[in-house]
Every structure is written in C-alpha cells, then in structure tokens.
Amino acid sequence: MEIRVQSETFLPGEELDAFTARVDGAGAVVSFTGIVRDDSGALAEMVIEHYPGMTERALEKIAAEACERWSLADVLVIHRFGPLAPNEQIMMVATASRHRKDAFDAAEFLMDYLKSRAPFWKKERSRNGESWVAAKDSDEDALTRW
Amino acid sequence: MRVIDVLYFAWVRERVGLPKERVETEAETVAQLVEELRGREERYALAFSDLSALRVAVDQELTDFDAPLAGAREVAFFPPMTGG
C-alpha cells in the first residue's frame, strides 16, 4: 500500500507504469485520476487545504478497509494539496487484483470514501471571487452502497 | 482544567481568524467546548452558528459533538470534507 499526500505535481502515466510493474502477476489494474475542472471558464486556481497528520491516517484507514473487503495485490493513493491550475491532476488511485471486479469495486470504494472522509477542502478562485466548494449530499449518499 | 490544541480548517479557519490555538477549558465534551468558544467573541459565535454544517475530529479521528474530551490533546473543527 502506498499513500502519498504532496503539493508537487505527478505524472499519472509514470505512476501507473511503476504501480503495474510492481504488481507483477496481478491480472487487473484499475486507475482513476481526478483533474481540476473549470465549469465556469473563469477559474484561476483551485486551492486544496488539508489536515496534515489526520489526512494520512484517514487515507491509510480507507485503503486498509479496501484491502480487507477485496482481494487486492496493492493500492496506490496520491492526493495533492496547495494551489492547482485548471486541468492539473488533483489525485489518483490505483488498485491491482487477480480479477477486474475487485480492482474496479475497490477503486470506486476508495473514491467514494476519500471524497467525504479524508480531510481535504477545496477553494475555487476565479475572476468572480473565491468560494469554498460545498460537499454534496450525493457524495454522502454514495457511502451507503458499501 | 485541561489544555487542548484547537484547530480550524477551511471557512471555519477564516471565520475564527486563525488556524490553531491552545485553549484552557473546563469542557467535558466537544459540545461544551463549542459553547465556551461561542461565548468568547462574535467571530466564534459566527463560526459555530450552525453545528449541522460542521464536522469535528478529536485526536485526528472523526467523531461527533457528544464526544468526551477526557485525554484529548487535539480537537479540530471543519466543514464537510471535499476530497477527490
């Protein structure tokens, strides 16, 4: 299991290649990359705040739970903080398993939980001012399916 | 009397006006600590005006406002998280 919380950018392709190389024999690798979206066309940057210490603990707990629920060869979680420009990558998860269903389900579980159980907060700065991104009820509801 | 580090994140931090402070408190629970903070100044009252919009962690574990503070070193208040 590898959990990284960092301000620096990362290259999803390189991360995925390295992850895939070390889970030799897994049979299935699933990855998801989250990208800064500019719905208004006016976004200057997204600033991600987090709670150092708790963030790592929360991500490790979520990843450990995924490993208990599904048969996984390995899990990778990378999440950035600080200022991010539109189209920059925010985070990625990758899962490896013997068969694809475990890898897909575990990746979805990780995404659902780290959306509303990992202490990150997003602020959008645009030409029209700045505002905190509000949590969606649907994100909380998504947890009930697990 | 216990001494607790209280942390604020996102708009809670902005409303209170600081990220972290050391608080001497008689509070036995998170809810009692909130009441003490609310009574301090208007900016705290504003930050804690709607508890349904807030989440709390004690010693970096998500919990609820009824949680006891016995043995706690760190309490953090923040809005619902928006990771991913």
Q: In this structure, are strands A2-6 and A82-84 parallel, antiparallel, or unpaired?
A: unpaired
B28/chain A closest Cα distance in angstroms: 23
Q: Say how far apart CA B60 and CA B75 lie, in whole Å.
A: 8
Judge: B9–A121 Cβ closer than 8 Å, yes or no.
yes
Closest residue in chain B to residue A89, using alpha carbons only: B84
Q: Say how far apart CA A115 and CA B35 lie, in whole Å.
A: 30
**The domain defined by B2-78 carries CATH number 3.10.20.30:** yes
Q: Is the ipTM of this complex over 0.85?
A: yes
Residues B14-54: pLDDT tens digits?
999 999 999 999 999 999 999 999 999 999 999 999 999 99
Structural domain boundaries in chain B: 2-78
B10/chain A closest Cα distance in angstroms: 6
pLDDT by residue for chain A (146 residues), tens only, comes to 999 999 999 999 999 999 999 998 899 999 999 999 998 889 999 999 999 999 999 999 999 999 999 999 999 999 999 999 999 999 999 999 999 999 999 999 999 999 999 999 999 999 889 999 999 988 888 898 89
The domains found in chain A, sorted by start residue, are: 2-145 (3.90.1170.40)
